[in-house]
Amino acid sequence: MTSPTPQPCESATATRKPKLTLGVLNNYRDSDETRLFLTPEACGMLVTMGVGILMESEAGIDITYSDEAYASNGVEITTRTRALHCDVVLSVRSLHANDINHMRPGATLMTLSDPELPRDAVQALLDRNITLLALDSIHSANKQYTFARVLDEIDGRAAILYAQEGLSFLGEGKGVLLSGLAGIEPCEVLIIGEGWRVQSAAKAALSAGARVTLMDNDISSLFEAERNCGPMLDTTAIHPHVLYNKVKSADVIILDACTREFSFPKQLSAAMKDNVYLLDLSVTTPSLIVPRTVAMAVSNVLINFLSETLQMGGIQRQIQTLPGVQAAVVTYQGHLVNKLIAVRHGLYAVNLSMLLSATPN
């Protein structure tokens, strides 16, 4: 009996045409950005799902992953120009106009929100019919802003790392711990603001052993902070006399946006301790010092999002049917739909719902 001739085994990952190509870009080297949104393991999972990933060489350096680590998980390491030519392009920060001009017409760009997106970048997006999604504006059906929450929680926790270093001798501080010891009072941390970022900072400071006060000008947000942070957190409304006393005794002051508009009074600077550590989260991004944690956390969210993308038949289909994705659209197929950016540049914003109603399903 003649043995059957062995047939070559077709490799699914080597020969199957990807359902979607994803270009992952390196950060601009003249920026302070260190974060990347995909780990090698996450890329491997996406490749298995049918996503073809093209990554710019050395994109993983800041999170201490080599090109080889990504290549071993099915990623094609390539040039920036080739990565820009994918169906979907992923970048942490917004792209310059010259990079957008290398993208495939009609492609999708995913970045973090950028309210100061330059006029020439907006025009390049419109000229090439690029759909721009702001990842941190995407929300789920139950109004959970998953991308934003992950990043805010990391920023809040990393803010306390900043504070601990700032108080230490290495950070040219007074050389103290946040926590107290037998016979020594803990440091006082004053946090002014609302939301996940300040609550995460409060939790981290409490875990480090500090005495923490959170102030805001809305009582309901303080109720939420108490519920999420536990009874060890002191909460108080912003009143001039109380604020003055808290500022005067604080070793660390962390500022963020409050529920209602509030500006920290400049005259209170005179009441601060000489060696107080002051951090304004509206102008600082503490997660830049822990970019690998960011990559691991955001990877989990991206895997879920892109899995849904494949199941629904593409990002355009997600936009057409999911209000949470519609909320993140900045430009859509040659139209500017974000009102804030339109006002900033004196442009006209088109209503996305009207565009979608005119788009064939």
SS (H, E, C) 98-140: HHHCCCCCCCEEEECCCCCCCHHHHHHHHHCCCEEEEHHHCCC
Q: What is the pLDDT of residues 292-306, one digit of tens each?
A: 999 999 999 999 999
CATH of the domain at 107: 3.40.50.720
pLDDT of residue 17: 87
Q: How confident is residue 5, by pLDDT bands cut at 50, 70 and 90?
A: very low
Q: What is the pLDDT of residues 27-69, one digit of tens each?
A: 999 999 999 999 999 999 999 999 999 999 999 999 999 999 9
Does 296 fall in a domain? Answer: yes
Boundary residue ending a domain (239, 256, 288)? 288
Q: Are residues 202 and 267 in the same domain?
A: yes
- Domain match, 194 and 270 both: yes
> Do residues 129 and 198 share a domain?
no
* 274 in the same domain as 313: no
Residue 222 maps to a domain = yes
Domain end, chosen from 232, 265, 288, is at 288
Q: Is residue 1 part of a domain?
A: no
Domain that holds residue 138: 15-144+290-357
pLDDT tens for each residue of 204-241: 999 999 999 999 999 999 999 999 999 999 999 999 99
Q: Are residues 174 and 215 in the same domain?
A: yes
In this structure, what DSSP letter does residue 168 have?
S
Across the range 128-151, mean pLDDT stands at 96
The total number of structural domains that make up the chain: 2
Task: Give burial (CB, 10 Å; 0-12/13-18/19+) of 49.
Answer: middle
Strand order in the sheet with 188-192: 234-237, 211-216, 188-192, 252-255, 277-280
Q: Identify whether 298 is part of a domain.
A: yes
Q: Looking at the structure, do residues 264 and 196 belong to the same domain, yes or no?
A: yes
Q: Identify the residue whose tokens are 């900033």.
A: 344
Does the structure show a pLDDT above 60 at 315? yes
Indicate whether 119 and 41 sit together in one domain: yes
Please tell me whether residues 164 and 99 are part of one structural domain: no
